Amino acid sequence: MQSDDARYLKRKYKGGSLDVHPTEKALVVQYEVEATILGEMGDPMLGERKECQKIIRLKSLNSNTDIASLARKVVEECRLISPSRLPEVEQLLFYLQNRKKSAEKKEKKQIKPRDLTPFEGMELDEEANINSIDDYIELLYEDIPEKIRGATLILHLARNPDNLEELLQNETALGALARVLREDWKQSVDLATTIIYVFFCFSSFSQFHGLITHYKIGVLCMSIIEHELKRYDLWQDELLKKKKADILSKEYEKALKKYHGLLTKQEQLLRVALYLLLNLSEDTRTELKMRNKNIVHLLVKTLDRDSEELLVLVVSFLKKLSIFLENKNDMVRNTLICFYPKRRCSSGYLKYAESVSVHSWLVCVCVSGDEAQRQIAMCILYHISMDDRFKSMFAYTDCIPQVMKMLFDCGEERIDAELISFCINLAANKRNAQIMCEGNGLKMLMKRALKLKDPLMMKMIRNISQHDGPSKNLFIDYVGDLAAQIGLKEEEEFVIECLGTLSNLTIPDLDWELVLKEYNLVPYLKDHLKPAQQEDDEFVCQIVYVFYQMVFHQATRDVIIKETQAPAYLIDLMHDKNAEIRKVCDNTLDIIAEYDVEWGKKIQSEKFRWHNSQWLEMVENRQMDEAEPFMYGDDGEPFLQNGDILERPDLFYSSDGIIPVDGAISPEFFTDFQNGDLLGPHGFPSSSLTDGYGQTGVTPARPATAYGFRPDEPFYYGYTTSR
């Protein structure tokens, strides 16, 4: 604007906040500039506001500085600070003067780009000078060698944080660097590395991240990384071809030497580019953009390197990303490439490894890897199989047939704990169990388990037997073999698994009466329910569960009720300290009570007695105390004799309890209650009666009938009743 037009432009400065610089000895003044264009008559026509910042550096500030004098000087020279804020300026200067140097150095150590060590090609035979920046920019318009030299000189300047502010103001230099990187990065890895390093120096400070975003350096870095990783694969394939040809060993050695040289330069480029992206990911919005461009895949592929510095950087980046669930899931899907070094495999195997899931690939490592790799891979598979969400994934790969082959290849040798544990977990999934039974799978498993008396193998079989469908019907051929093990003096752990397998066989065509009689199982089961042998909760729970299955069928139910004392033992176990045993006992006794009146009364009475044990104990054990005056009538004679309290309606509970005070309910109410006539469904008192007694810890209510519930239904043990 010409000088004679200046009267039509009006600027207004408005002071804002005042604070100290986070790392330097300086004050930061925030202010607002309002520019208004005035018309010929002085009326405003167009206006604009802009927020600005001014840094007042205090190089002379030290421990001996006179704070008051310095504060006055700052206020006098800076028109943006009002004289009324002099006390505030003094306070900030005093803080700067006493700020601990150790903290300042620590802050610089964390953010300075010195953490990225210099690399080959950065050496110079001259010292870079900030005053010669224009000369360095001119070099960026020359051929590749001159461009590298110019970029390296600027890099030496950028490595000093004190020069970053001045470089920031030089848009020509930064624009030229960004242009050269965008146009020539494929022509020279040294040039690309040097220019990215310059922007990395800016990325070490959060306030410069906007600059890097402006020139789109982050997006360019991801493209460069992706291209270099593809180039790395091509190098390896070419090297492998030369090795296989093996026409001249010297030619291969020459190619190998060249490969290592290229690899070193490439890893320097990858390291500086990834470090820059790591700094930019400080902003979660920028990190999300990186994820959308598949940053996790690039990082995981880079894990196949030997450079310790590069690996530490990549793992640190992955660690930062892993706090978000989406990134963690990406890592799971892309993890297979990092487990087995590519250069040890054929290219055909590599293509296979990249096309299958991590599950199958890990099994391949178990089959073809060395001993150390096999053990690590199997441990990883075991941990994956512990999560129910991932068990089903194995059914859609070729993992299970290979794992079954590994089992059978063991012969009579001891199976590794990791392998059999993995198989036990897999068998807990229905689809996996069906695949295991295909062909002669179940036959081979049963043959090995029964021959070697292997409890872990039998546990795997037991897991298979719990699933409904075709696989369960296959067990009909092995009921006799399993039942025969129970009568023998085998190891208890093995017998428990056989019992558990039998208890899972809810097959309609199975004649349990014939099985019980032929293998004389009832005496064995009864003996093992004696109190002296109830220390093993799992053993007892499995036996009770067998009874639960048998009471569903009339033939076996009649034998249990009429010819054994099993219901009595179940009543004893009804209050066992183990919650699972109590649940199975309660459900079994409910079914028995429905089909046998005599046992039904005993079970109902026992449940009522236990449910109201505290109240009954209080009534039965309460002794007359002559010191209590309310125990005597007006004539001085005791009236609480032989249940006479039932003749005193005025002593009944109020409307909040059982009986109203007016005696509207007859005394026979109590007799009926004790006889069980007022009990709720299945022998439980109604909620109002329970509240009247003030009992707590009530046993959960039962469904109308337990007969329709099957143990393999998901809600079998999960139903609840609101009270």
Task: For residue range 466-502, list pLDDT tens digits in order.
Answer: 998 888 889 988 988 898 888 767 788 898 899 899 9
154, 136 Cβ separation under 8 angstroms: yes
Confidence of residue 42 (pLDDT cuts 50, 70, 90): low
pLDDT in tens, 239-274: 888 777 765 567 777 888 888 888 888 999 999 999
> Phi and psi dihedrals of 31, rounded to 5?
-145, 170
> Phi and psi dihedrals of 638, rounded to 5?
-70, 135
pLDDT at residue 354 tops 70: no
Mean per-residue pLDDT, 684-701: 36
The 10 Å Cβ neighbour count of residue 708 is 8
Q: Name the DSSP letter for residue 147.
A: H
Which pair of structure tokens corresponds to residue 263? Answer: 């690899």
Q: Which residues pair with 49 in a beta bridge?
A: 34
- Distance of alpha carbon 405 from the chain centroid: 32
Q: Is 347 left (phi over 0), alpha (psi -120 to 50) or beta?
A: alpha
Percent of the chain exceeding pLDDT 90 equals: 15
Q: Does 459 or 35 have the greater pLDDT score? A: 459
> Phi and psi dihedrals of 484, rounded to 5?
-65, -30
Mean per-residue pLDDT, 585-604: 88
28, 102 Cβ separation under 8 angstroms: no
Confidence of residue 435 (pLDDT cuts 50, 70, 90): very high
Tokens 């066992």 identify what position?
576
pLDDT at residue 133 tops 60: yes
- Number of residues in the chain: 723
Radius of gyration of the chain (CA): 42
Distances (CA, A) of 584 to 508, 614, 638, 697, 717: 21, 25, 48, 19, 9
Q: Which helix (H) or strand (E) holds 254?
A: helix 249-280
- Distance of alpha carbon 704 from the chain centroid: 40
336, 353 Cβ separation under 8 angstroms: yes
CA distance 271 to 307: 10
pLDDT at residue 436 tops 90: yes
pLDDT in tens, 297-339: 888 888 878 888 888 888 888 888 888 888 877 787 776 444 4
Taking the chain, what is the end-to-end CA distance rounded to the nearest angstrom?
Answer: 85
pLDDT in tens, 533-561: 556 777 888 888 888 888 888 888 888 88
| Closest C-alpha among 320, 325, 322, 307 to residue 270 | 307
pLDDT in tens, 495-533: 889 989 998 988 888 888 888 888 888 888 877 766 565
pLDDT at residue 446 tops 90: yes
pLDDT at residue 30 tops 50: yes
Q: Which helix (H) or strand (E) holds 50?
A: strand 44-57
Q: Is 535 exposed, middle or buried (0-12, 13-18, 19+ CB in 10 A)?
A: exposed
Q: Which helix (H) or strand (E) holds 11?
A: strand 9-20
Confidence of residue 52 (pLDDT cuts 50, 70, 90): confident
pLDDT in tens, 641-690: 444 444 444 444 433 444 444 444 444 443 444 444 433 333 333 333 33
What is the average pLDDT score of the chain? Answer: 75
The 10 Å Cβ neighbour count of residue 68 is 13
The 10 Å Cβ neighbour count of residue 203 is 24
Q: Which residues pair with 44 in a beta bridge?
A: 38
**Range in 204-208, 362-366, 690-694 with the lowest mean pLDDT:** 690-694
pLDDT in tens, 54-99: 888 887 788 888 888 888 888 888 888 888 888 888 888 888 888 7
